[in-house]
């Protein structure tokens, strides 16, 4: 059934008749390990720094959690943009689907968070599957407009059926995931929980993008017609990609609902939240999932910093700063790390010159 076959620098996993390759090259492990250690130690580092300034520790931790929430939406979105070749302008719609699903199910039917997690994923994926023909029939501006309309429709439904969806007050009384009695400890634990989810997303996104499936997704992203005329069934690639990544975005909604203990649709369906997500994917570097994490943290902290420093003007200043970053970093934050001009669709294969 399952057989492992080690080769030089890679591991081939045979599952029935399918083959999966896993590149194992320790010489490329240094930087990811350093990055992971910094990431895990981030709360400790920031709390240490915060002792020097009059900033509340809780505020820092909740900013980090917000960054993780952005990551949970932006990482699947990046994979989706590569896999469908289209920019989805309604990622927060799918997040809201997940949020409403878990909030309503746990409030009305008393489901535990463990039960609402697969349900919100499944419902998000199902709605995306239902909507997936738009990835075939529309492209460019039409696709943008269709996906942009979805969150507004949901927003109107939330206001219209306010006794179900709670409109602006949201759906309170959603069971929360962790409770130790200590607010600070709770938040730190939430940070690590959200980090685990983001790491899981990163792991899956990385494995997918480095696989042959991810490589073909890259071809679709670049030129769909060429992909089609070289034997790639683009329809069969785009629909599962769209459905599964949208389901993954719904998981972000699940986390939001169970973290805040309530789900307020109008707060998350705002265009400003969409702009933050889209800027995260763009500033991360096109198609760079690790850059997305970096830019999510930068944007979340900038958002919080401008809020402290500028008060009412904060959102204007934030967007001006982000605009300047877009202008000066056309390749995104990942471009600073990797000084390459093209996207690496499968970095694992290095052909030795000889």
Partner 1 sequence: MLELKNVRKRFGGIVAVDDVSFKVNKGEIVGLIGPNGAGKSTLINLVSGYYYPNEGRITFTGEDITWKKPFYRAKKGIARTFQNPRLVGNMTALMNVLYAILGRNGGENLTLYEASAEAMYYLDLFGLLKRRDVLAQDLPLYEMRLLELARALALKPRLLLIDEAMAGLNPAEAENVSKLITRIRDEFDLTIVWVEHVLRILMRSVERVVAMHYGKIIADGTPQEVSRDPKVIEAYIGEEI
Determine, following the binding rule CB under 8 A, whether residue 10 of this chain makes contact with partner 1: yes
Residue among 225 and 312 whose Cβ is closer to partner 1: 225
Among 229, 328, 339, 354, binds partner 1 (CB under 8 A): 229
Nearer to partner 1, 7 or 38 (CB): 7
338 binds partner 1 (CB under 8 A): no
Is residue 87 at the binding interface for partner 1, with CB under 8 A as the rule? no
The answer to whether 16 contacts partner 1 (rule: CB under 8 A) is no
Position 234 contacts partner 1 (CB under 8 A): yes
Structure tokens at 136: 């075939």
> At closest approach, how far in Å is the CB of 136 from partner 1?
11
Mode of pairing for the β-strands spanning 2-7 and 10-15: antiparallel
- Residues in 108-127 at the binding interface with partner 1, rule: CB under 8 A: none
Indicate whether 327 belongs to the interface with partner 1 (CB under 8 A): no
Per CB under 8 A, does 231 bind partner 1? yes
Which of 151/218 has CB closer to partner 1? 218
**List 140, 339, 351, 354, residue binding partner 1 (CB under 8 A):** 351
Q: Of the candidates 105, 116, 91, 247, which has an alpha carbon nearest to the alpha carbon of residue 164?
A: 105
Of 41 and 349, CB closest to partner 1: 349
Counting every residue written for the chain, the total comes to 354
Rounded Cα–Cα distance for residues 93 and 156 (Å): 12
The span from the CA of 15 to the CA of 211, in Å, is 15
Q: Buried (b) or exposed (e) across 320-353, using 16+ Cβ within 10 A?
A: ebbeebeeebebbbbbebbeeeebebeebeeeee
Residue (of 202, 231, 235, 238) closest to 217 by Cα position? 238
Q: Looking at 21, 46, 157, 321, which residue binds partner 1 (CB under 8 A)?
A: 21
Is residue 25 part of the contact set for partner 1 (CB under 8 A)? no
11 belongs to the binding site for partner 1 (CB under 8 A) = no
**Cα dihedral value 215, 219, 222, 223, nearest 10:** -170
Q: What is the DSSP letter of 85?
A: S
Which ranges of the chain would DSSP assign to H, the alpha helix? 30-40, 42-50, 57-84, 91-108, 113-131, 134-137, 141-160, 162-165, 183-210, 212-222, 224-229, 234-260, 265-268, 271-284, 289-310, 314-328, 332-337
* Residue 125 to residue 97: CA distance in whole angstroms: 10
Sheet holding 18-23, edge to edge: 2-7, 10-15, 18-23
Q: Which is nearer to partner 1, 51 or 229 (CB)?
A: 229
Report the distance separating Cα 121 and Cα 244, nearest Å: 8
Which position among 11, 19, 160, 336 is part of the footprint of partner 1 (CB under 8 A)?
19
| Of residues 107 and 238, the one with the C-beta less far from partner 1 | 238
Q: Which one of 172, 223, 272, 308 is in contact with partner 1 (CB under 8 A)?
A: 223
215 binds partner 1, rule: CB under 8 A: yes
Beta bridge partners of 15: 2, 18
- Which C-beta is closer to partner 1: that of 86 or that of 303? 86
Q: Which is nearer to partner 1, 11 or 44 (CB)?
A: 11
The single residue among 157, 199, 232, 317 that binds partner 1, judged by CB under 8 A, is 232
Task: Using CB under 8 A, list all residues that contact partner 1.
Answer: 10, 12, 17-21, 211-212, 215-216, 218-219, 222-223, 225-234, 342-343, 345-346, 348-349, 351, 353
């Amino acid at each position: 059934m399952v057989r492992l076959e080690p080769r030089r620098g890679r591991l081939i996993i045979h599952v029935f008749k399918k083959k999966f390759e896993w590149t194992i090259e320790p010489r490329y492990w240094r930087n990811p390990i350093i990055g992971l250690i910094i990431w895990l130690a981030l709360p400790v580092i920031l709390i240490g720094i915060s002792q020097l300034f009059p900033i509340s520790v809780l505020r820092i931790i909740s900013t980090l959690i917000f960054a993780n929430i952005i990551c949970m939406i932006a990482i699947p979105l990046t994979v989706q943009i590569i896999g469908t070749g289209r920019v989805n302008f309604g990622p927060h719609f799918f997040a809201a689907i997940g949020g409403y699903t878990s909030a309503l199910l746990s409030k009305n039917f008393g489901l535990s968070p463990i039960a609402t997690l697969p349900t919100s994923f499944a419902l998000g994926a199902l709605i995306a599957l239902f909507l997936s023909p738009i990835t075939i029939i529309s492209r460019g501006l039409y696709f943008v407009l269709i996906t942009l309309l979805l969150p507004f429709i949901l927003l109107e439904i939330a206001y219209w059926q306010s006794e179900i969806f709670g409109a602006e007050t949201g759906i309170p009384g959603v069971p929360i995931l962790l409770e130790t009695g200590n607010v600070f400890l709770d938040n730190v634990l939430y940070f690590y929980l959200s980090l685990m989810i983001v790491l899981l997303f990163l792991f899956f996104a990385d494995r997918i993008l480095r696989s042959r499936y991810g490589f073909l997704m890259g071809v679709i992203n670049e030129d769909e017609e060429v992909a089609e005329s070289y034997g790639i069934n683009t329809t069969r690639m785009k629909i599962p990609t769209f459905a599964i990544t949208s389901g993954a975005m719904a998981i972000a909604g699940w986390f939001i609902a169970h973290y805040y203990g309530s789900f307020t649709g109008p707060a998350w369906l705002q265009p400003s939240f969409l702009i933050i997500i889209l800027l995260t994917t763009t500033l991360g570097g096109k198609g760079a999932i690790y850059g997305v994490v970096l830019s999510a943290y930068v944007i979340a902290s900038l958002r919080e910093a401008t809020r402290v420093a500028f008060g009412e003007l904060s959102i204007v200043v934030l967007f001006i700063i982000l605009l300047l970053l877009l202008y000066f970093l056309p390749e995104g934050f990942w471009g600073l790390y990797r000084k390459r001009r093209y996207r690496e669709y499968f970095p694992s294969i290095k052909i030795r010159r000889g």
